Amino acid sequence: MATAPFQQLHDTMLEQLGQDIVGGLLATGTTVSADEIATRYDVSRTVVREVVRVLESLGLASVRRRVGITILGPDHWNTLDPHVIRWQLAGPHRFEQLSILSELRSGIEPLAARLAATRATPQQCGELTAAVIGMASTSRAADTDAYLGHDSDFHRTLLAASGNPMLRAMSQIVVEILAGRTRHSLMPHEADPDAVHLHGVVASAVQAGDPDAAEAAMRSIVTESAEAVATMRKSPSDV
């Protein structure tokens, strides 16, 4: 591990330490030294120092002289950061987190669809349509990166087409949610035809300048996604 490039070591350790904190392996209130972390993860103090700076910026840890590195609890976390979302979805409470994120999406994406219907550029309309075509062409393997790529393109484009920079900034969050479902086997192997169809309805409504239809279809998409995860949660084989 010590021979790997610095950035690779940094990224690997950030993922490990971040997941350990969010997942509870490093309990809230625990205080550790940089030397202890360097030994535990087999990295240099330089790597530890840079990683801890990132964790501080995310609210996962605090550093004080003569005290060390203190692990902070969820009340301090930047829960809208894609890193934190990814680590929470990797943890033991991913279904609870997905439920919370579904509530967030229900407030963001229907609004984005409504705004996009009056603000989307011709290029963005074309990108939405292309993403739907891509989803349809890969729908028999909806649990793969290919389908995820098209799905992510659709939602990223929709949020940008809203014309609202705050909504556009939320695209990283939505994409991380979609990626989490794929990464943790929470997507069906074959996409629900109705879900793909609804994406097409959103694209058509945006292109037609119909905000009511765009908002309604987008709300149905978010609801379908939440219900699909809830169904998987009830199945012992999908934990």
CA distance 154 to 177: 14
Structure tokens at 206: 């945006």
The proportion of the chain whose per-residue pLDDT surpasses 70, expressed as a percent, equals: 97
Which ranges constitute the DSSP H helices of the chain? 6-22, 34-41, 45-57, 82-89, 94-119, 122-137, 145-161, 165-169, 171-183, 193-208, 211-234
Q: Which residues pair with 61 in a beta bridge?
A: 71
Supply the pLDDT for residue 1.
46
Q: What is the pLDDT of residue 239?
A: 40
Q: Where residue 4 falls among pLDDT bands split at 50, 70, 90? A: low
Inter-residue contact 172 to 83 (CB < 8 Å): no
Report the C-alpha gap between 116 and 158 in whole angstroms. 7
pLDDT tens figures, 81-92: 999 999 999 999
Please state the domain extents for the chain. 6-76, 82-234
**Residues 34 and 45: beta-carbon distance below 8 Å:** yes
Q: What angle do CA 80, 77, 156 make, to 5 degrees?
A: 10
Answer for the pair 7, 44: CB distance below 8 angstroms, yes or no.
no
Q: How confident is the model at residue 2 (pLDDT cuts 50, 70, 90)?
A: very low
pTM: 0.91
Question: Is CATH 1.20.120.530 the right assignment for the domain spanning 82-234?
Answer: yes
**b/e per residue 128-154 (b: at least 16 CB within 10 A):** bbebbebbbebbeebeeeebbbbbbbb
Residue type at position 130? A
Fold classified for 6-76 = Arc Repressor Mutant, subunit A (1.10.10)
The rounded Cα 116 to chain-centroid distance in angstroms is: 22
The rounded mean pLDDT for the chain is 94
End-to-end CA distance of the chain: 31
* Cβ–Cβ < 8 Å for 189, 173: no
Q: Which alpha helices (H) appear in 120-192, and where do they start and end?
A: 122-137, 145-161, 165-169, 171-183
Q: Alpha-carbon distance 84 to 76, whole Å? A: 11
64-78 residue pLDDT tens: 988 999 999 999 999
Q: Would you state the structure tokens that stand for residue 121, as one six-digit string? A: 């550029």
